[in-house]
Structure 1
Amino acid sequence: MKKFLLPLLAFALSATAAAAQEEGRPQRTPKEMAARQMQGLTKQLGLSADQSAKVQPILLARDQEMMAMRAQMQAGTADRAQLRTQMQANRSKYEDQLKAILTPEQFTQMQTLEANRRQRGAEMLPEGKMKEKDGNLKIKTKTDS
């Protein structure tokens, strides 16, 4: 009887936890994420109306691609190393596009804001989960030592 109840209890608890997590934080669409980012960038960088109109589609395309890659990773249909390389290439592509629109001061300020955001994210992780390598933050995995 115990052999039957223990797996059933474990399944029930995991299903309840997953449902609670889904209810707690609804996933934003790429369009919602891009709009929110646009508001922040407009305010923090002082973008003109012309700059905002040019930046919005870039943010939307970036967020759509990132969501598609995350879905592939979660589904287990893509190689992690390949996705990481693709994400880095996309980041460079979108930075180049933004650099063409923003003033040099705005671009530098945007890079500073992103570095601060990454640093805050790293500080929120439990001790020992991050390490710095070549100026970039990396999440340690069980295979890293």
Structure 2
Amino acid sequence: MKKYLFPLLAAFALTAGAANAQTTPQNGGGRPSPEQMAARQSERITKQLGLNADQTTKVQQIMAARDQEMQGMRGQMQGGTATRGQMRDQMVAGRAKYDDQFKAVLTPDQYTKYTAMQADRMQRGPGRGMGPRRGMAQDSTAKKGKVKVRKDKMKVKAE
């Protein structure tokens, strides 16, 4: 009896772990749908800008349309049908279009706050609020100084 108990427990533990792993949802890497992203973003903007109910619904519609368009652009980029330059041009045009729509919905004070929020977000970098990505290009010595390598000594001269 004892010599069968350990292999049975081990087999049960392995199959239970595999069964649990299969029940987790697989939705494309955890990326929310454009509607979910628009709802989350409009909720954040509503709190930060103090929007009324009408403004909130309009902002949510604008964001849903923007996110849907961005998802289409991602598909073009991944499919190889558009070059990087074409994508950049489309994104700049789309950003201007949606900024005009926001300007029509928001009050001048709210729009000023919105543009400040966007500038702050752009300044934080591509890490979605996590700060700039780390790497050699953003290292302070790589940006501000000259690196000289002599034999096995490295010196950094600040400019």
Say whether the fold is shared (TM-score over 0.5): yes
Question: Which residue does 1:69 correspond to in 2?
Answer: 73
Q: Distance in 2 between matches of 1:39 and 1:50?
A: 13
Q: CA RMSD in A?
A: 1.9
Q: Distance in 1 between matches of 2:52 and 2:72?
A: 30
Q: C-alpha displacement at 1:75, in angstroms? A: 2.2
Code of the residue aligned with 1:44 in structure 2: it is Q
Q: C-alpha displacement at 1:73, in angstroms? A: 0.9
| Structure 2 counterparts to residues 56-135 of structure 1, below 5 A | 56-121=60-125, 123-127=131-135, 128=137
Q: Distance in 2 between matches of 1:31 and 1:89?
A: 22
Q: Could you state the TM-score of these two structures normalised by the residue count of structure 2?
A: 0.62
Identical columns (%): 53
Change (3 A) 1:24 1:96: closer
- In the alignment of these two chains, the number of paired residues is 108
Question: Which residue does 1:43 correspond to in 2?
Answer: 47
Q: Distance in 1 between matches of 2:107 and 2:84?
A: 35
Q: Distance in 1 between matches of 2:35 and 2:91?
A: 19
Q: Distance in 2 between matches of 1:29 and 1:102?
A: 25
Please state which structure has a larger fraction of its residues in helix. Answer: 1
Q: Deviations over 1:6-38 (max 9, x none)?
A: xxxxxxxxxxxxxxxx88951111001100001
Highest RCO, 1 vs 2 (Cα 8 Å, sep ≥ 6): 1
Structure 1 regions of 5+ residues with no counterpart? 1-21, 130-145
Structure 2 regions of 5+ residues with no counterpart? 1-25, 139-159
Q: Distance in 1 between matches of 2:49 and 2:28?
A: 31
Q: 1:27 aligns with which of 31, 35, 38?
A: 31
Q: Could you state the TM-score of these two structures normalised by the residue count of structure 1?
A: 0.68
Change (3 A) 1:120 1:104: same
